[in-house]
Structure 1
Amino acid sequence: MTNRPFKTGESREQASLLPPRVEDYVEPNNPVRAIESYVCALDLAKLGFRHADRGAEAMGQPPYDPGDLLKLYLYGYINQIRSSRRLEREASRNLELIWLLRNLRPGYRTIANFRKENWAALKAVNRGFVLLVRELGLVGGSVVAIDGSFFHGDASKTSIFTRKRLAEQIARLDLEIEAYGRSIEDNDAAEANEPKKDRADGPGAGSGGDAGDIGAKVSALMAKRSRAEADLARLEASGETQLSVTDPDARLLVKNGQAVAGYNVQSAVDDKHKLIVASEVVNASSDVGQLHAMAKAAKDALEAEALQALADEGYYSSLELKACEDDGITAYVPVPEGNGRLEKQGRFSLKEFSYDPAGNAYRCPAGELLRPMEGRWQNASGRTEIRYASSTKTCGACQLKARCLSPKASRRTIGRWEHEDVLERHRARMQGSRELMRRRSGIVEHPFGTIKCRAGYRHFLVRGFDKVRGEWSLMALCYNLTRVLNILGFEGFIAAVVKALTSRKRPFGAVMNVLQRTLEPFWAQIVPSLSVRLS
């Protein structure tokens, strides 16, 4: 036996009589087989993928199967590979991808276009996976936590303009143009005072070259000013507050002093296994106005009769709470404390007044009644209110007048929302919700933490609402898929896919096709037993 200092590999030049199969390089329980089984079980044409319903009789160069490109993207997003150029390289050198795509090597443009063109189908796949996990009993269906997180868009902060910023830019350009205009006038005056020179002195004589440079700079500034004026006019005509010249839908989002040029991703997460059951991408900094839409989307996805929705203080809105209650959703949102303006002035706030539902009146700290006024009023937030007022004579003689009325007021007036009972029930609910609110952050922050910190996905690679929503659907789908694989295990996931296929009455051949392409190493053992169970 020859002694060797190290283990040696096989010669790259050695020919093999029986070369190893690509199948042998992918172990039987490799997660890539789960991707294969899941995509094979999808009805891609029904989901809306381009070319999915193309027949063999179609003319022209055949395109790539959308199923293969979907597998490529699922593998990439699960393994932190999102760039179309990187996916192109990995398809040529990554054995798992070579197995998954059967040695197909699509170009980066084909890969990128698939993500851009099939954004609606990607959203449909994500929704379909939520239905699958619901069928498998992996969601509780009674409690969801809702939150939002900022993601950077494919735009810089400097490419997003507000009306104020555009007005400041125009004023700054005016000053620069004026300064260059004075410079041209000074040059002209200097040339007029100099003694005339013979034209034969040469083309470089005088300062005409400098004047030409200044004129070119002024022309460039004028063009820039015209573009800024056009952007300002377009912004005012649209009624929007911001304008992005790179990504038309990206916005400058500000929270806690930090600004991000991008999007606000909203998600609703089920409490049982922290799976994302509903999500949406918006471009508003504030979460106010998102509670009902997200809770309703989660309720529809879970097909729940009743649902508890947990959210943080940023979602508090009386109109949203009313909408949730009308749709059978019990919302738990901390009540903001407010700025305490009246308390700082030493005056009684609204909480010092008690409402008497029987008499439809408020009782002040001095024991006097504030009775309803005629008519209805609409406040700044759009709520319709009933106003309650005290007696001017009573307030004038009250010993607590200084602590109740402003210096110019002669009586105290209180506004009560016409659906104030909704807020009263919500406040009563929140008294015993400490444990629920403690659970909220542990539920909803898990997916965002995993996607942002483990996967490193803090930004989008595409532009525009449609494409961004398609890419987010890929992120959410890959998070859920990885989570379900960790919960069920490989064989459990494959069994779940087969069960879903049979429950939806898919043909027996389709079920066999999924098993054959994913569990080939165990084919001889699985087919007989499965045939007996399905016959």
Structure 2
Amino acid sequence: KHDKQNTEASEHRKQRTEQTINTLEKNFEKIDQFLKTNSPRQGQGKQKKEVKSNITDNESAKMTTSKGTIQGYNGVATVDKKHQIIIDGTAFGAGQEHHTLTPVMETVLQRYRRLGISEDIYAEQVVVTADTGFANEANMNMLHRHDINAYIPDNKFRSRDPKFADQKETYGKRKRPKSVKARAVVFPNTEFEYDPIKRTCICPAGESLRNVPDRLFDDGLKLIGFQARLNQCRGCKLIEKCLENPKSPLDRKGHGRFVSFTEEKATGKPCTEWMKRRVDSPEGKQIYSHRMSVVEPVFGNIGTNKGLNRFSLRGQEKVDGQWKLFCMVHNIEKWFKYGALAV
């Protein structure tokens, strides 16, 4: 009986091993076929870098949502302000959406021509607004080149508006205050002698700090950093007033005092600067403030009322069809309720 049990167990292990090998061979064949028939996929970010492919649906992409990062698609819509009718809708699989502005606007232009409404809708009294996800130099260049009356802010436009100076404190999330240890008061950057021409920095104790690599930001600012060496801070009579943690330089893995200074620089993005001036103007602020009441209710209706909180199909063509179908249902509802008033 014992020998029979051993034989059955050995046979079971053999079957499981064969099944595992068979599964691995199928996966290998699937991946091998995918690599032979698909080219590397390029991202749509500022730098065209290769992104991870997806064997199940390679036209999809990683999307950052309120529920975390998921693999899927994103839907964009062009909405008429007066009636909230969706003029154009398209779904795409990319983490960035700025690359969709030109093809979407071209589609709208051709649709108006085909319907005999207007040969050039953008040449008429039409204003185009879009959120910050569509703001980059290429899009601003296209709008400026075609003389399109558009307002698309960059992601720093509210920080330049005095009206939003206390927005975070007034309307931000209210969190329970944590009992944290009060930070020690140290010398501010103004106590350091910084020479932007010679790129030198002298600390309050008279030591010359070494320059560390600069950091560049999208808003045109450059961060100039300086770091003190450990032997400069060790034994310094001002260490208690200069470092939040005076014991840090005593450890060989510690660090000395770090200070940084921001420096304005030419962005090399004239069309972005042109759009900044438009958005920051009183007229631009007034026009862009209406975008929230134009397009966001449409997405709320489709996502909440119609229940499309996630695409249920795979492949660019199928997902785009599903998105257009929901957009069409939204339009039919608008025409049914307000069609008589819209004539």
State the TM bucket, normalised to the shorter chain: 0.5 to 0.7
2:324 is aligned with 1:481:
no
2:240 is aligned with 1:430:
no
Residue of structure 2 equivalent to 1:226 = 28
What's the offset of the Cα at 1:264?
Answer: 0.9
Aligned counterpart for 2:307 among listed residues 456, 476, 484: 456
Kept in 2: contact 1:310–1:440 (CA 8 A): yes
What's the offset of the Cα at 1:285?
Answer: 2.0
Greater Rg over alpha carbons, structure: 1
Aligned counterpart for 1:309 among listed residues 125, 128, 132: 128
Q: Distance in 2 between matches of 1:287 and 1:397?
A: 39
Residue of structure 2 equivalent to 1:267 = 77
Provide closer, same or farther for how the CA distance between residues 288 and 205 of structure 1 changes in structure 2, counting only shifts above 3 A.
closer
Residue of structure 2 equivalent to 1:469 = 320
Residue of structure 2 equivalent to 1:280 = 90
Q: Distance in 2 between matches of 1:321 and 1:442?
A: 24
* CA deviations over 1:368-398 (Å, ceiling 9, x no partner): xxxxxxxxxxxxxxxxxxxxxxxxxx92399
Provide closer, same or farther for how the CA distance between residues 218 and 397 of structure 1 changes in structure 2, counting only shifts above 3 A.
closer
TM normalised by structure 1 equals 0.38
Kept in 1: contact 2:92–2:320 (CA 8 A): no
Aligned counterpart for 2:99 among listed residues 289, 292, 307: 289
What code does the residue aligned with 1:273 have? Answer: H
Matches within 5 A, 1:24-103: none
What's the offset of the Cα at 1:265?
Answer: 0.9
* CA deviations over 1:144-192 (Å, ceiling 9, x no partner): xxxxxxxxxxxxxxxxxxxxxxxxxxxxxxxxxxxxxxxxxxxxxxxxx
Q: Report the 3-state secondary structure (helix = DSSP H, G, I; strand = E; otherwise coil) of the residue aligned with 2:95.
A: coil
Provide closer, same or farther for how the CA distance between residues 452 and 336 of structure 1 changes in structure 2, counting only shifts above 3 A.
closer
2:182 is aligned with 1:333:
no
Q: Report the 3-state secondary structure (helix = DSSP H, G, I; strand = E; otherwise coil) of the residue aligned with 1:273.
A: coil
Q: Report the 3-state secondary structure (helix = DSSP H, G, I; strand = E; otherwise coil) of the residue aligned with 2:309.
A: coil
Provide closer, same or farther for how the CA distance between residues 485 and 216 of structure 1 changes in structure 2, counting only shifts above 3 A.
same
Provide closer, same or farther for how the CA distance between residues 235 and 255 of structure 1 changes in structure 2, counting only shifts above 3 A.
farther
Kept in 2: contact 1:292–1:321 (CA 8 A): no
Q: Distance in 2 between matches of 1:474 and 1:208?
A: 56
Kept in 1: contact 2:134–2:152 (CA 8 A): yes
Kept in 1: contact 2:279–2:285 (CA 8 A): yes
Kept in 1: contact 2:60–2:72 (CA 8 A): yes
Residue of structure 2 equivalent to 1:443 = 294
Q: Distance in 1 between matches of 2:314 and 2:225?
A: 52
Q: Distance in 2 between matches of 1:477 and 1:211?
A: 56
Kept in 2: contact 1:255–1:285 (CA 8 A): no
Q: Report the 3-state secondary structure (helix = DSSP H, G, I; strand = E; otherwise coil) of the residue aligned with 2:154.
A: coil
Q: Which shows bigger deviation, 259-268 or 452-461?
A: 452-461
Give me the identity figure in percent: 16
Kept in 1: contact 2:40–2:53 (CA 8 A): no
Q: Distance in 2 between matches of 1:216 and 1:250?
A: 34
Q: Report the 3-state secondary structure (helix = DSSP H, G, I; strand = E; otherwise coil) of the residue aligned with 1:289.
A: helix
Segments of 5+ residues of structure 2 without an aligned counterpart are 43-50, 113-117, 160-187, 203-207, 210-221, 228-262
Q: Distance in 2 between matches of 1:217 and 1:235?
A: 27
Kept in 1: contact 2:98–2:134 (CA 8 A): yes
Give the number of the structure whose residues are more often helix, by fraction: 1
What code does the residue aligned with 2:339 have? Answer: L
What's the offset of the Cα at 1:487?
Answer: 1.5
TM normalised by structure 2 equals 0.56
Residue of structure 2 equivalent to 1:319 = 138
Kept in 1: contact 2:31–2:55 (CA 8 A): no
Aligned pair count reads 238
Q: Distance in 2 between matches of 1:238 and 1:404?
A: 35
* Structure of higher RCO (CA pairs closer than 8 Å, 6+ residues apart): 1
What's the offset of the Cα at 1:399?
Answer: 9.3
Kept in 2: contact 1:268–1:279 (CA 8 A): yes
Segments of 5+ residues of structure 1 without an aligned counterpart are 1-200, 348-364, 367-393, 497-535
What code does the residue aligned with 1:290 have? Answer: T
Provide closer, same or farther for how the CA distance between residues 481 and 216 of structure 1 changes in structure 2, counting only shifts above 3 A.
same
* CA deviations over 1:313-372 (Å, ceiling 9, x no partner): 22211111111222232221222239x9xxxx969xxxxxxxxxxxxxxxxx99xxxxxx
Q: Distance in 2 between matches of 1:407 and 1:272?
A: 54
What's the offset of the Cα at 1:283?
Answer: 0.8
Q: Distance in 2 between matches of 1:238 and 1:458?
A: 30
Q: How much is the aligned-residue C-alpha RMSD, in angstroms?
A: 4.2
